[in-house]
């Protein structure tokens, strides 16, 4: 994989000697001026990260954070598995298994697995009315990082992973096949999202134009729950929320007919985030197919990968000097650069004639944000440093972007992004996301994926080479 990480046993011996801290909320953050050495500070943060994962566990799956998100979210869980893998590999595999308990008969791994109805969350299972799986779930998917995570878990210890891999492999194949059939528009290769929630980047400016074409008239009245947990200024606006619900209503009316929704629905945007993440996942799944001696599956995956360049060509925007989302209904590209533009390297996609330009764009953006990687270009008029996916930096996207950059030899930029992720967590704690101008934490606190990214990547006690 070109990205090996190891945590020395000594680190974990120290951690287990300290033991888990019972309830650390309220414990003062360690200041830069603290006399405690930075090594001890890192170990304290390691311990807190581990405690956050344990505290958000709910049986065999993990909540993104208590309160705001009381169910299992797809890509959150997969990042969390990487965190667990640092100290409990079997538990990491369980996280993947429980996510696929919500897989639909048509192959889709849902973006939320509900299992039960929790009135503190909206919109819950009674609004989605999705019946594609035995468990109640939402009706769309989320960025498919699972196969890449499964490859990491397997490579950590093939002896532990073999049986899990054998069981999960056909499920991963079915999910990828679902994307390649249900989320492409005939003749195209880039992957469409049919709801902003499917992209994992809910209110990114990437969706503004397409969302403006969704007419929210007639939606049933509703009460948001998210703004009861965190400051409304950090969340999507109510105009956006109305349209999110309109799209849920539309999907429900089609009986969650995914092919129809992609072809005819009110919203379909080619997403560089999901497209590049799936490209990488396809490559990783192909490697796993070969481990299992499944030549036929490997060949099927190759037919998917065959269209990679075409997908990248469609998403490339010369004017922006970057890959950009593109509205499949109007063919118009987004007007600004999102952080997922730089996941092309993670996808295994380097196009020499574009690289200089893409690197120039990345350099410009890094120069404008003291804490990288802003989810949207700070020089764009729609940038908002505190509002969710319209500017803030997210540890998980940072991890993916830095991994790809490192693999293509852009070591300094990869280290810059990793170092910034570390500094934001050291400064503010394990928040959902961070203001890229100040490093202040925002959104939910005690967030599982931020803790997981610390443990598997950003902590100085994790050796990435």
Rounded CA gap, 391 and 436, in Å? 7
Piece of 67-75, 216-224, 278-286, 327-335 that binds ligand GLC (CB under 6 A) = 67-75
- Residue 327 as a binder of ligand GLC (CB under 6 A): the answer is no
Count the alpha carbons within 13 Å of 20 in the hemisphere toward its beta carbon: 10
- 32 noted as active-site residue: no
- Residue 431 as a binder of ligand GLC (CB under 6 A): the answer is no
- Residue 73 as a binder of ligand GLC (CB under 6 A): the answer is yes
Piece of 71-79, 90-98, 277-285, 313-321 that binds ligand GLC (CB under 6 A) = 71-79
- Residue 399 as a binder of ligand GLC (CB under 6 A): the answer is no
For residue 193, the cross-strand partners are 269
Identified catalytic residue from 46, 95, 202, 377: 202
Q: List the alpha helices (DSSP H) in 104-207.
A: 125-128, 146-156, 158-182, 196-199
CB of 287 to ligand GLC, least distance (A): 26
- Cα 218 to the center of its chain, rounded Å: 32
The residues in 15-54 that bind ligand GLC, with binding defined as CB under 6 A, are none
Q: How many residues does the chain have?
A: 465
For ligand GLC, the binding residue among 15, 50, 64, 346 (CB under 6 A) is: 64
Tell me if 395 sits within 8 A of 453, measured CB to CB: yes
CB of 396 to ligand GLC, least distance (A): 8
Helix (H) or strand (E) holding 462: none
Identified catalytic residue from 198, 208, 300, 432: 432
Tell me if 205 sits within 8 A of 335, measured CB to CB: yes
- Residue 376 as a binder of ligand GLC (CB under 6 A): the answer is no
Three-state SS letters, 223-282: CCCHHHHCCHHHCCCHHHHHHHHHHHHHHHHCCCCHHHHHHHCCCCEECHHHHHHHHHHH
- Cα 66 to the center of its chain, rounded Å: 18
Piece of 72-80, 94-102, 231-239, 350-358 that binds ligand GLC (CB under 6 A) = 72-80
Piece of 70-78, 115-123, 356-364, 417-425 that binds ligand GLC (CB under 6 A) = 70-78
The DSSP output letter for 4 is -
For ligand GLC, the binding residue among 69, 104, 241, 256 (CB under 6 A) is: 69
Which residue, 110 or 289, is less far from ligand GLC as judged by CB?
110
Q: How many CB atoms lie within 10 A of CB 186?
A: 6
For ligand GLC, the binding residue among 44, 152, 202, 300 (CB under 6 A) is: 202
Q: Which of 199, 180, 300 is nearest to 247 (CA)?
A: 199
- 309 noted as active-site residue: no
Q: Which of 135, 128, 141, 117 is nearest to 253 (CA)?
A: 128
- Residue 75 as a binder of ligand GLC (CB under 6 A): the answer is yes
- Residue 206 as a binder of ligand GLC (CB under 6 A): the answer is no
- Residue 377 as a binder of ligand GLC (CB under 6 A): the answer is no
Interface residues with ligand GLC (CB under 6 A) are 64, 69, 73, 75-76, 200, 202
Catalytic residues, by residue number, are 202, 432
């Amino acid at each position: 994989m070109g990205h090996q990480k190891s945590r020395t046993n000594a680190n974990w011996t120290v951690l287990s000697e300290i033991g888990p801290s019972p309830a650390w909320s309220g414990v003062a953050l360690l200041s830069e001026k603290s006399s405690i050495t930075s090594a001890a500070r890192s170990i304290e943060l390691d311990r807190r990260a581990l405690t956050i994962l344990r505290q958000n566990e709910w049986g065999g799956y993990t909540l993104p954070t208590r309160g705001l998100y009381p169910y299992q979210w797809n890509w959150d869980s997969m990042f969390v598995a990487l965190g667990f893998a640092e100290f409990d590999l079997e538990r990491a595999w369980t996280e993947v298994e429980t996510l696929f308990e919500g897989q639909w008969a048509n192959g889709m791994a849902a973006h939320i697995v509900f299992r039960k109805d929790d009135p503190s969350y909206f919109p819950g299972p009674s609004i989605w009315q999705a019946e594609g799986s035995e468990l109640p779930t939402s009706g769309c998917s989320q960025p498919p990082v699972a196969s890449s995570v499964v490859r990491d878990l397997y490579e950590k210890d093939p002896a532990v992973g073999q049986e899990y891999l054998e069981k999960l492999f056909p499920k991963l194949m079915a999910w990828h096949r679902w994307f390649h059939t249900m989320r492409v528009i005939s003749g195209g290769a880039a992957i469409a999202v049919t709801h902003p929630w499917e992209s994992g980047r809910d209110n990114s400016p990437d969706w503004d134009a397409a969302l403006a074409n969704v007419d929210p008239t007639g939606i049933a009245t509703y009460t948001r729950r998210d703004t009861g947990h965190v400051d409304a200024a950090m969340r999507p606006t109510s105009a956006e929320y109305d349209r999110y619900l309109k799209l849920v209503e539309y999907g429900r009316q089609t009986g969650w007919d995914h092919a129809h929704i992609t072809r005819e629905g009110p919203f379909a945007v080619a997403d560089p985030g999901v497209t590049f993440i799936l490209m990488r996942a396809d490559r990783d799944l192909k490697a796993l197919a070969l481990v299992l001696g499944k030549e036929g599956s490997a060949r099927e995956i190759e037919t998917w990968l065959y269209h990679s360049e075409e997908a990248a060509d469609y998403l490339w925007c010369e004017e922006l000097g970057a890959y950009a989302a593109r509205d499949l209904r109007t063919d118009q590209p987004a007007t600004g650069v999102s952080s997922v533009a730089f996941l092309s390297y993670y996808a295994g996609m380097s196009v020499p004639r574009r690289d200089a330009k893409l690197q120039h764009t990345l350099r410009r953006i890094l120069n404008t944000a003291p804490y990288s990687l802003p989810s949207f270009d700070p020089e764009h008029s729609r940038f908002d440093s505190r509002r969710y996916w319209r500017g803030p930096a997210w540890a998980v996207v940072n991890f993916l972007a830095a991994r790809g950059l490192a693999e293509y030899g852009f070591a300094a930029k990869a280290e810059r992004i990793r170092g910034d992720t570390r500094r934001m967590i050291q400064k503010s704690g394990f928040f959902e996301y961070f203001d890229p101008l100040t490093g202040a934490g925002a959104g939910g606190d005690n967030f599982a994926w931020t803790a997981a990214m610390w443990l598997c990547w950003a902590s100085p006690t994790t050796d990435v080479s």
